[in-house]
Structure 1
Amino acid sequence: MSNYTHETVPTQFVQANGTRYAYRRFGKVGTVPLLCLGYFNSNMDGWDPSVTNSLAADHEVILVDNAGVGSSGGETPHTVEGMTEQCVAFCRALGLKAMHVVGFSLGGMIAQKLALDHPDLIQRLILLGTGPRGGEGMTFAELSAEEQADPVAFLLGAFFSPSQASQAAGREYMKRLESRKQDRDLPVSRSSAEAQLAAIREWGTIPANGRYATLKNITHTTLIVHGNKDIVVQPINAFILAEHLPNAQLIVYPDSSHGAQYQHARVFLEHVKLFLSN
């Protein structure tokens, strides 16, 4: 094991194709790494330390800011395809030959494209709160690249359901996000957020070759996790993924929205451990 945790691991940098990528790497050395790809307008500090630290007990964990995001240099691509190629450049620069990918929301879109275009790089997929290309209701009309006036209220409203129990879990999650005190990541710039928003909206349009046509080509063992009241990516999209991916299993958590894996972190981590050890 490395001696670092989510809270203490230093930010490192690697150069690839003229872009300087920021990343953090910690956990059980010598295992297949878990590459964690985050959601829209988030940086490395957006991951829940209780989840990443628990994952690091059994696996090496790699958090990364893709091009133009947070502390990374370069420009953020306006398409998921472009983001995927930037992610591959980062992986090649680190010398990664095989990995599991944990993709949350936008990160789950990149994870799908990685599995399609670079299948040999991926061993297993964990898709959190995401949907297929051209999915149901994936217009993301309610999202904006503008800085949120109250980011706490925004995350509590988007990631957690209105119930008392879910909102209480959300407040605990917000406290955990502040547990890293030193070497925190840079915020996402407006230009990067605008590019990300363009990418997820383009992903949500129906492709010329028809809906869901390429999902059958993602043959990796996949775990899909979704909240039954997700207001960002409608739950029907998780069922579509589970229906069309040849080797997928689906878990839907109750009374939860876009951050279901954080509200139900304990049981989520048990499910991940079973999934990765089977």
Structure 2
Amino acid sequence: MPHFQGSQASIWYEQVGQGPDIVWVGGGGTAGKDWHRFQTPHFADRFRSTVFDNRGIGATTCTLPMPWTIEDFATDLADLIRHACGGRPVAVVGSSLGSAIIQQLCIDHPELVRVAVLMGTGAWSTGWGWDYQEAEIEFRKAGGRLDGMMAVAHYAAMLYPARALGDRELWPKLKALMLEWMESDANEESLVPQWDASLRFDQREALKSVRVPVHVLAFEEDVEAPPQDGEEVARLIPGATLHNLPGMGHGSWYGHKHVEINALIERIVG
């Protein structure tokens, strides 16, 4: 599995499939390999997928002092596209923090973007979402951590809609996925360095300058990035297309409604 030295970080990445490039950008606590479970197999026969670990998680390392900014994360993404995709414009797909990183890529490096797909996104952190992230960061800085079923119960309510949580067949599957995530310690490892950037960015003015094709996927039952946040991003970016997806939450791309979401992404990037 290759590493390369970018301008600020040593970045781990992996490529699968053949065809036009899709680069998948994870949210806070999401490792590159997580896209392999429900996304990249769907695209492998028509597209080449590149997954990678953002700084702050997994095998990617960065020795620069924290806090890191969204601009720093976008620099890593630009370095990756130039190194692994030949610097050609690519489709970029992200969720949550990954969407904010892609938005910054569209602002700073539009020549690298063929089309952007943004899931569960916003232009800035505000309201309940700001308080929630700040509380989590302060909890960790004070020495707290969340493990096992306590962590699963906490985050499941943030990631999935009520009908998914109440589905007696689906919930055991989601619980197993989340327990695996908690046991990896990826969330605890990455929370402060990644969430701090998510807490403090504000792209509202800069997004007005974006001129690349952008599709915003807003999940109607998203607690972490309420649909009005995605609607704001779509209004700010000239020509952006908004997709309001009913019955979905912030993490529905992972083990809940991934079949429907993958089909929509395939139509967009194809």
The offset of 1:91, in angstroms, is 2.6
Bigger mean CA deviation after superposition, 66-75 or 103-112: 66-75
Distance in 2, Cα, partners of 1:48 & 1:175: 17
Cα gap change, 1:59 to 1:129, in 2 (>3 Å):
same
Contact kept in structure 1, 2:26 and 2:32, CA below 8 Å = yes
Partner of 1:24: 14
Map residues 1-278 of structure 1 onto 2, 5 A cutoff.
11-17=1-7, 19-28=9-18, 31-47=19-35, 49-75=37-63, 78-94=68-84, 95-133=86-124, 137-139=128-130, 140-141=133-134, 143-144=136-137, 145=140, 147-150=145-148, 151-164=151-164, 167=167, 168-169=169-170, 171-173=172-174, 187-188=185-186, 190=188, 192-203=190-201, 207=202, 212-262=204-254, 263-277=256-270
The offset of 1:165, in angstroms, is 6.5
Bigger mean CA deviation after superposition, 224-233 or 48-57: 48-57
Contact kept in structure 2, 1:15 and 1:93, CA below 8 Å = no
Deviations 1:88-123 (A, max 9, x none): 223333333221111110000000000010000111
The offset of 1:191, in angstroms, is 6.1
Deviations 1:230-250 (A, max 9, x none): 111111111112222222222
Contact kept in structure 2, 1:34 and 1:61, CA below 8 Å = yes
Matched residues, number: 253
Distance in 1, Cα, partners of 2:43 & 2:190: 28
Cα gap change, 1:124 to 1:259, in 2 (>3 Å):
same
Deviations 1:162-201 (A, max 9, x none): 225765545435656899xxxxxx7538564212121011
Distance in 1, Cα, partners of 2:43 & 2:67: 29
TM-score by length of 2: 0.81
Bigger mean CA deviation after superposition, 104-113 or 250-259: 250-259
Cα gap change, 1:253 to 1:48, in 2 (>3 Å):
farther
Cα gap change, 1:177 to 1:27, in 2 (>3 Å):
farther
The offset of 1:136, in angstroms, is 5.8
Q: Name the amino acid aligned to 1:156.
A: A
- The gaps in structure 1 that reach 5 residues or longer are 1-10, 180-185
Cα gap change, 1:80 to 1:32, in 2 (>3 Å):
same
Contact kept in structure 2, 1:99 and 1:121, CA below 8 Å = yes
Contact kept in structure 2, 1:48 and 1:177, CA below 8 Å = no
User: 3-state SS of the aligned residue for 1:261?
Assistant: coil
Distance in 2, Cα, partners of 1:114 & 1:217: 12
Partner of 1:7: none
